[in-house]
Amino acid sequence: MLYFIYDNTFEGLLTCVFDAFNRREFPQKIVRTDTALPLFTEPFRVITDTDKSERVLNALKKKISHSAVRMLFVDFLSELEGIETVIFRYIQKAVTAKTSIEMNFADADVLELSKIYRKVMREEERVRQFVRFQKTADNIYFAVIEPVYNVLPLTGRFFKTRYADQQWIVYDAKRKYGLFYDLNTVETVCFDSLDISPAGNINPEKLDESELAFRILWKDYLKAVTIRERINLKLQRQYMPVRFWKYLTEKNGE
């Protein structure tokens, strides 16, 4: 069994494709560096090379639309087990087919990747919905969130346009990195130690003095607009999954 081992980056995955075609050896599976390999595998360590990944991208763009190429990147961010192998098979089919395969939903891989794409984009939307910023004393708006998929890279542009005149950080507590916007560019940041409560709250002394008042106003607002004749907690949970409540200003402590 031939296994390709790659460094868990999208460029690395594309390099796998390049190497496979180059060596005319196609792996049964593509796995991340940290995966324990089963017995009787024949591992091949792929060295990520942006020249190679660029060439694969260019070859792909000749066969499928730009949005289909982007879909593959989005699928990759799902981090689902085995996703690399499905993406690999898709690319293999795409570059060898005469016409674009992207609309062929009767093909299991095409259908599966389009479904995963929708799920990941749904999660990305949820991040845009449920991020809550707290204003700190040094004028940075800070938010913590734990999306199921690694969607932060997809949200940077949105937050940058919307909050162009304020510094902000959106922090993924599960993957331990964040996006930081310094009024010019969005960069990836990691913190050695973060002074936040389990609910993602910053130490009150380090908050802007008006922050707590606006939190209360927001909670009061939501209570006031609830129509008591129509209480429907199930529906609320369906639209606003409980897994996000931990960091929601209005649900803290529930």
Partner 1 sequence: MDTKIFDKLKILAEAAKFDVSCASSGTTRNNPGKGIGSTSGWGICHSFTEDGRCVSLLKIMLTNCCIYDCAYCANRRSNDIPRTTFSVSELVELTVEFYRRNYIEGLFLSSGIVRNADYTMERMVRVAKDLRTVHKYNGYIHLKSIPGTSRELIAEAGLYADRLSCNIEMPSEESLKLVAPDKNYQSIYTPMSYIQQGFLQGREDRQKYRHALRFAPAGQSTQMIIGASQDSDMKILNLSDALYRRPAMKRVYYSGYIPINTYDTRLPAIAAPPLVRENRLYQADWLMRFYHFKVNEIVNEAHPSLDLDIDPKLSWALRHPEMFPVNVNTADYEMILRVPGIGVKSAKLIVAARRYGRLTSGNLQKIGIVMKRARFFITCNELAANTVHETGPEYIRKALTDSVNPKKRKTNDRQLVIDFGE
Q: Please say whether the beta carbons of 144 and 200 come within 8 A.
A: yes
Q: Which of 67, 214, 242, 243 binds partner 1 (CB under 8 A)?
A: 214
| Interface with partner 1, residue 98, by CB under 8 A | no
Using CB under 8 A, count the residues that bind partner 1: 54
| Interface with partner 1, residue 185, by CB under 8 A | no
Q: Which two tokens stand for residue 210?
A: 């008006």
Angle (CA) 78-55-113 rounded to 5° is 25
Q: Which of 22, 58, 161, 193 binds partner 1 (CB under 8 A)?
A: 161
Show contacts with partner 1 in window 134-153 (CB under 8 A): 134-135, 141, 143
Q: Which range binds partner 1 by CB under 8 A, 51-59, 81-89, 195-203, 221-229?
A: 221-229
Q: Please say whether the beta carbons of 123 and 147 come within 8 A.
A: yes
| Interface with partner 1, residue 191, by CB under 8 A | no
Q: Which range binds partner 1 by CB under 8 A, 2-10, 83-91, 102-110, 187-195?
A: 102-110
Could you tell me which of 162, 158, 165, 157 has the C-alpha nearest to residue 182?
A: 165
Q: Please say whether the beta carbons of 178 and 172 come within 8 A.
A: yes
| Interface with partner 1, residue 230, by CB under 8 A | yes
| Interface with partner 1, residue 183, by CB under 8 A | yes
- DSSP run (H or E) holding 62: helix 50-63
- Helix and strand tally (H, E) in the chain? 8, 8
| Interface with partner 1, residue 83, by CB under 8 A | no
Q: Please say whether the beta carbons of 27 and 20 come within 8 A.
A: yes
| Interface with partner 1, residue 188, by CB under 8 A | no
| Interface with partner 1, residue 131, by CB under 8 A | yes
Q: Which of 1, 42, 82, 105 binds partner 1 (CB under 8 A)?
A: 105
Q: Please say whether the beta carbons of 44 and 56 come within 8 A.
A: no
Q: Which of 51, 205, 233, 254 binds partner 1 (CB under 8 A)?
A: 233
- The whole-angstrom distance between residue 211's C-alpha and the CA centroid of its chain comes to 28
| Interface with partner 1, residue 247, by CB under 8 A | no
Could you tell me which of 67, 159, 78, 84 has the C-alpha nearest to residue 120?
A: 78
Q: Which is nearer to partner 1, 32 or 251 (CB)?
A: 251
DSSP E strand boundaries for 100-218: 134-135, 140-145, 167-172, 177-181, 186-189
Question: What is the binding site for partner 1 (CB under 8 A)?
Answer: 103-107, 111, 125, 128-135, 141, 143, 158, 161-166, 183, 210, 213-214, 216-218, 220-236, 238-240, 248-250
